[in-house]
Amino acid sequence: MEVGGYAFVAGGGKACCYAFAREGATGVVVADIDIDAAEETASEIRALATHPEFLAEAVQLDLGAEESIQSAISYTTAIFGRVDYSIHCNGMPNRTCDLIAQASFVDLKRLLELDIHRAVV
């Protein structure tokens, strides 16, 4: 499969980044709150890329901050001119309970805010 185009991958989407690189994407921006992890993934996918002009960049992204989201998208469109694929792999580590039924209202609200609302900002 040849995907072509440009991808924006937010959150822990390392496997998605690998797939885009192997399947012929022209470029991928790896966006994560952990910039070191994003840079590591960008470096790894450069080595896997099959497109001769492949470009991989890393950007820090806090999906809990709307200005961070806007900044990451602006950075991506400045580099690529467009975004053909947008992957949202964000999640919030469950530090307070094992079952979602045991989650506090505050924790559940934060999880839904990150996973649903921020996917469409």
Which token pair is 76?
Answer: 């991506």
Question: Residues 63-82: what's their mean pLDDT?
Answer: 93
Residue keyed to tokens 């690998």: 18
**What distance lies between CA 20 and its chain's CA centroid?**
12
For residue 121, pLDDT over 60 is answered with no
Which token pair is 17?
Answer: 């980044």
Span of 5-19, 33-47, 51-65, 94-108 with lowest mean pLDDT: 94-108
The band of 104, judged by pLDDT with boundaries at 50, 70 and 90, is confident
Instruction: Tell me the residue type at 27.
Output: G
Instruction: Output the pLDDT for position 42.
Output: 98
Contact 76, 9 (CB under 8 A): no
Q: How far is CA 58 from CA 30, 31, 67, 104, in A?
A: 5, 6, 17, 34
Radius of gyration of the chain (CA): 15
Instruction: Output the pLDDT for position 71.
Output: 96
What does the alpha-carbon distance between residue 6 and residue 82 come to, in Å, rounded to a whole number?
Answer: 7
For residue 75, pLDDT over 70 is answered with yes
pLDDT digits (tens, 9 = 90+) for 79-92: 999 999 999 887 65
| Domains of the chain from N-terminus onward | 6-90 (3.40.50.720), 92-120 (no CATH)
